[in-house]
Chain A
Amino acid sequence: MMTTQQGSLDTAAPLAPDITAPAPPEGLSAAQRLLSLQRRFPLVQLLLTVAVLGWGAAAMPGFLDPTSLRSVLVLCALTGLASIGQTLVVLIRGIDLSLAGFIVAGAVTVTQFGDVPGVPLPVMLVLAVVCGGATGGLVGYLCHRFAIHPIIVTLAAGSIAVGVTAVLSGGGTGAGAPGWVVRLSAPMSSTFGLPVPPVVVIWGLAVVAVSVLLHRTRSGRRLLATGASPVAAELAHISTRKVWVTVYAVSAALAILAGVVLAGFAGNVDNRLGNPYLFQSIAAVVLGGTAFGGPGSYTRTTVGVLLLTTVSTVLVGLGFQEADQQILNGVVILAAMALYGRERRLRDQV
């Protein structure tokens, strides 16, 4: 990762005179410009994604076929949808380990409660989202009111969510997801004539919606302000508690919806369905360059998701084992953190 960044800087170096020549005194060098651009947008990650795609195309004929690209996009969309909540929570300096639990809860709802007499499935889903949202809100409230670390409370909430849905469904995992849910993420399905599966379109809309919400609305500003400095936000008459409650409620509700889509994709649902997506969501957020408490955005997470998914797809295609992938996941996270997430020196904090 570091070498690639170095490489991109080197190739840009000859351009430096052209850019800086008109105004040498106050002009920044090309390297500095690129660095400041990198700070605002995950350029290196995007270039890496393209490089990995190129590597895959060179090594595997047919890798860039529409069919296989669609499957990659579906995988991206699933991880991306699961990471929305995590991005928001990380932006307010929290972390959400309950994602895994709520994903399972959503998946169980759609596979087990489809044939409850008198209650149609859509009503059931709304009910699940409302219950999940309420639980998430309670988590946010408890963390903020009693200053408890979110790791513990979200861990407990996820466990409770899995337990309650399992109790309600009698622990059965027999029935599969209904057809329309399966079609959402089937790689060969299309959306209103567009040749991509619905889940990809939903993800695209979500990227736009979350970005607008975060950066162009008052609520988004409140959220970012809360993450940047809770004390300053309080002084600016922002109810940080309300922000915490809302963000955790939204995160839980979105995780339930992600679980619904995942149920259609995975086929069979068990209690561990959510775990890989929990770890991937944290990895994608970190990889995209969103720091705890900001700065950050969902577009960065999106780039993180694209990189994470293409790397693992290419590695699987090239016959690498799961072991190599896991190791690479870890190394990639560390490298991304080294680029962004460094904290101030202790001696500068005195």
Chain B
Amino acid sequence: MSAVDQRAPAIRRSPGAHFTRHTCLFALALATALLIANLALQPRFGVTAQLAAVAPLGIAAMASVPSIMSGRGGIDLSVSPLMTLSGLLYATRLQPGGLGGYVALPLLMLVGAVVGTVTGLLVVVGRLQPIVVSLAMFFVLTGLDLKLSPSPTTISGSWMAGFAGSMGPVPGGLVALAVPAALWLLVSRLTTYGSLLRSVGGNDVTAFTSGVPVGAVRVLAYALGGAMAAVGGLVLIGLASTAEAGTSGSYTLIAIAAVALGGLPLQGGAGGIANALAGAAAIYLLQSLLGVLQVSQTWLQVIYGALLVGAVLFGAIAAREVKKGR
């Protein structure tokens, strides 16, 4: 063991190893380059507006992180309809019921956590494939969304409008991103949960034999994802001033794309919300840049697909190099 440790600095120096250790570096570099290009081409590239526009995707991506980190094919496809559900609950139940103030945020996060717990319990206790369970949850939640509000509900004059502009001196988008990020950091850094989750995702059998409550750790991962997703629904209301069931499926695939582009290993056990944020930023800035260059929406699909394959290939090859080095 010590021999490996002594050689570790030498490995770290190779660029491939660097990228493997910090899996979000590729997306960060990409996002930085795109940001510079955007700033050069768009004189009116306002930080506040851009942060607000990237927030829903960023939140959807962050909400996908804990379930993927929990390993064994963990993934939550129901993040996007859960976001919509949270927004619709606010519009059709909480606001008419007099709970339209800031108290709605913790309430809805609780609802999100409960829905996530149900998904997690189905995965853990039912011993079912996460992708199928969350696809089923996707259907159920999409149906609930449609039931809650068959037609879009307009909301005006709520505090959520701040998400699109600024809340005090702080850009609203930043606040929107900070809430789920803070929840994640509090739970994973202030407690041992972060390392437990990594150990379960890395090798659940080993974690189990070491006495880690694998099932509870997994269920909590889905619950955390649900609570984070619930914030996204409120941000969507803030941006559009309406809540509609039509957004149920909008963020499902693009959130996974953002997380993958951000370099989060889909086999679990590593990474964090930094990957999600870097990936979401890269995708958003790319869309924005192509919009400015008046590249048609059709090319966007091609470039976005190619970029995704490129990013995962890069990650896979970098990981291979490190393995060879050892």
Contact = CB atoms under 8 A, between A and B. Distances in A.
A326 B143 CA distance: 5
Contacts of A325: 143
A286 B134 CA distance: 13
B122 interface: yes
B135 A333 contact: yes
A349 B260 contact: no
Contact of B300 (A163, A292, A334): A163
A142 B309 contact: yes
Interface string A143-166: 000111101110111111011101
Contacts, number: 157
Contact of A163 (B127, B132, B146, B301): B301
A275 B248 CA distance: 13
A350 B208 contact: yes
Contact of A323 (B147, B257, B302): B147
B89 interface: no
B137 interface: yes
B135 A163 contact: no
A284 to B, nearest CB: 12
B285 interface: no
Interface residues of B, number: 53
B242 interface: no
Contacts of A337: 126, 128-129, 132-133, 136
B117 to A, nearest CB: 15
Contacts of B253: 97, 155
A322 B146 contact: yes
Contacts of B298: 163, 166-167, 171
B143 A323 contact: yes
Interface in B126-178: 126-129, 131-133, 135-147, 150
B214 A346 contact: yes
A349 B205 contact: yes
A156 B308 contact: yes
Contacts of B145: 323
Contacts of B209: 350
A324 B142 CA distance: 10
B316 A146 contact: yes
B301 A330 contact: no
A129 to B, nearest CB: 20
B304 interface: yes
A163 B136 contact: no
Contact of A327 (B143, B257, B304, B317): B143
Interface residues of A, number: 52
A108 to B, nearest CB: 11
B128 A343 contact: yes
Pick the most buried of A159, A322, A324: most chain B CB atoms within 10 A of its CB. Answer: A159
A107 interface: no
A346 B208 contact: yes
Contacts of B147: 321, 323-324, 327
A283 B302 contact: no
A209 interface: no
A148 B139 contact: no
A283 B127 contact: no
A337 B133 CA distance: 8
B128 A330 contact: no
Contact of A326 (B139, B205, B257, B300): B139
Interface string A9-20: 000000000000
Interface string B257-281: 1001000001100000000000000
A342 B257 contact: no
B305 A166 contact: no
Interface in A283-301: 283, 286, 292
10 contacts: A146-B316, A146-B320, A148-B312, A151-B131, A155-B260, A166-B298, A325-B143, A327-B143, A333-B135, A334-B122
Given A282-B135, A326-B139, A341-B132, 13 more contacts: A153-B309, A155-B256, A155-B260, A156-B305, A160-B305, A167-B302, A323-B143, A323-B147, A323-B150, A327-B144, A330-B139, A338-B128, A346-B205
Complex A-B, nearest 3 residue pairs according to Cβ-Cβ distance, in ascending order: A163-B301, A326-B143, A330-B139
Interface of B: 75, 122, 126-129, 131-133, 135-147, 150, 204-205, 208-209, 214-215, 249, 253, 256-257, 260, 266-267, 296, 298-306, 308-309, 312-313, 316-317, 320
